[in-house]
């Protein structure tokens, strides 16, 4: 299905019963809605599962400037409104985690819980060294051939051949310009000043072979700081943990969802 938003055409899919509890999955940089196929298959008998492509990704409209994740939050709310979804769990991978967290902050009445996959807390923007590191990486990445860049990204974000292949094909499909406009949007998002946190139930997950490694460290600290949060390190998985090891991720997810079944 296509949402004709003021930001551009957005592709999305909804699977599952019309009146089931809803969960919205938002992918990370360079990926697309198919990234969550294993979760859709696992949940669709009971849950109403919404997956979508951010601008510049998959089958959504191309970007002309850096991706704005605050715009993407408004896109989610518009899709929900068009499909009579009053409230949903927001699940997001990496940059998609920031989108999910902002949705919980900006639209608290529409978000029942938050699931973060390899993401960091939005109210703690990237430090100066991290931002400089990403900017240096951007400069180097623009010099090397796109094929080598995509291969590097795929092998550093996933550990299984299947997940690496998906990451590579997704990046190739979007192309170099769209990838860099998305990474630029990620750098912009890292500077967003968020003065408050969300209060909804939270599940924090990351891969046991998380890259970059500091993401796992931040996730553990985040869990210790948020009272009542759930935490799961997904074994045999990299940054793209739910695709590297869908079985263990899905079990962590359903355990979390069942704990808050009445509220979602």
- Long-range pairs, 2-5, Cβ under 8 A, ≥24: 3/75, 3/78, 3/79, 3/82, 5/74, 5/75, 5/78
For the chain, give the mean pLDDT.
Answer: 94
**DSSP result, 139-206:** HHHHHS-HHHHHHHHHHHH-SSHHHHHHHHHHHHHHHHHHHHHHHHHHHHHTT--------S-EEEEE
Distance in angstroms (rounded) separating the CA atoms of residues 125 and 194: 8
What is the rounded radius of gyration, in angstroms, for the C-alpha atoms of the chain? 17
Tens digits of per-residue pLDDT, 163-205? 999 999 999 999 999 999 999 999 899 888 888 899 999 999 9
Dump pLDDT digits (tens) for 57-80: 999 999 999 999 999 999 999 999
pLDDT at position 212 is 86
What pLDDT, in 10s, does the model give residues 78-112?
999 999 999 999 999 999 999 999 999 999 999 99
Token readout for 260 is: 């808050």
Q: Which option is the CATH number for 2-259: 1.10.1510.10, 3.30.565.10, 3.30.465.10, 3.40.50.1820? A: 3.40.50.1820
Tell me the backbone φ, ψ of residue 2, rounded to 5 degrees.
Answer: -120, 130
β-strands 8-15, 48-52 pairing: antiparallel
Q: What is the pLDDT of residue 220?
A: 97
Tallying the residues shown for the chain, one arrives at 264
Going from N- to C-terminal start, the domains of the chain cover 2-259
């Amino acid at each position: 299905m296509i949402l004709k938003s003021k930001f551009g055409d957005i592709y999305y899919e909804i699977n599952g019963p019309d009146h089931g509890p809803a969960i919205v999955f938002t992918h990370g940089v360079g990926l697309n809605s198919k990234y969550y196929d294993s979760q859709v298959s696992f949940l669709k008998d009971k849950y109403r599962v919404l997956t979508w492509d951010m601008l510049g990704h998959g089958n959504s409209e191309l970007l002309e400037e850096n991706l704005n994740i605050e715009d993407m939050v408004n896109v989610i709310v518009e899709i929900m409104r068009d499909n009579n979804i009053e409230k949903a769990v927001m699940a997001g991978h990496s940059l998609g985690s920031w989108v999910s967290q902002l949705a919980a902050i900006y639209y608290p009445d529409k978000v029942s819980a938050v699931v973060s996959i390899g993401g960091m807390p939005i109210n703690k923007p990237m430090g100066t060294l991290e931002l400089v590191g990403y900017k240096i990486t951007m400069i180097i990445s623009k010099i090397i051939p796109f094929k080598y860049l995509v291969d590097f990204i795929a092998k550093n974000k996933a550990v299984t051949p299947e997940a690496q292949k998906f990451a590579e094909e997704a990046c190739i499909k979007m192309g170099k310009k769209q990838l860099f406009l998305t990474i630029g949007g990620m750098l912009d998002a890292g500077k967003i000043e968020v003065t408050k946190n969300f209060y909804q139930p939270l599940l924090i997950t990351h891969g046991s072979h998380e890259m970059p490694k500091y993401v796992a460290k931040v996730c553990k600290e985040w869990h210790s700081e948020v009272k009542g949060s759930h935490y799961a390190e997904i074994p045999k998985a990299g940054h793209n943990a739910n695709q590297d090891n869908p079985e263990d991720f899905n079990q962590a997810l359903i355990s979390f969802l069942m704990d808050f079944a009445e509220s979602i």
